[in-house]
């Protein structure tokens, strides 16, 4: 079943290639959507795909790449919108 996941990650998540690694994870899992830095120092992710694959991405966001230190993350499940053709890093 396809779904949509909205995640916001806080901690040491900027300047540690969190966005690039999120894109790599999403591409590997065949997930579409985007990731971007937030002005409050967090990273925001909107992702669509098979729920099982989104759950894998969500688990990965709890830790992130080497160098990241995730102190808190929040997420919501949303209705699948089939809004994206690929996964991108937004600025």
Pick the catalytic residue from 4, 21, 37, 72.
37
Task: Compute φ and ψ for 82, nearest 5 degrees.
Answer: 50, 50
Q: Name, in order, each residue with C-beta under 8 angstroms of 15's C-beta and a sequence gap of 6 or more.
A: none
Q: Is residue 37 annotated as a catalytic residue, yes or no?
A: yes
Residue 18 DSSP one-character state: H
Pick the catalytic residue from 4, 19, 21, 90.
19
Q: Is residue 19 annotated as a catalytic residue, yes or no?
A: yes
- Rounded CA-CA distance 43/40 in Å is 9
Q: Which residues are catalytic?
A: 19, 37
């Amino acid at each position: 079943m396809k779904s949509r996941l909205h995640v916001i990650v806080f901690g040491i998540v900027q300047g540690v290639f969190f966005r690039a690694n999120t894109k790599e994870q999403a591409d590997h899992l065949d997930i579409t959507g985007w990731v971007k830095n937030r002005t409050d120092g967090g990273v925001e992710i909107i992702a669509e795909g098979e729920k099982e694959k989104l759950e894998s991405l969500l688990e990965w966001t709890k830790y992130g790449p080497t160098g990241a230190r995730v102190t808190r993350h929040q997420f919501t499940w949303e209705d699948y919108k089939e809004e994206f053709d690929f996964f991108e890093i937004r600025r």
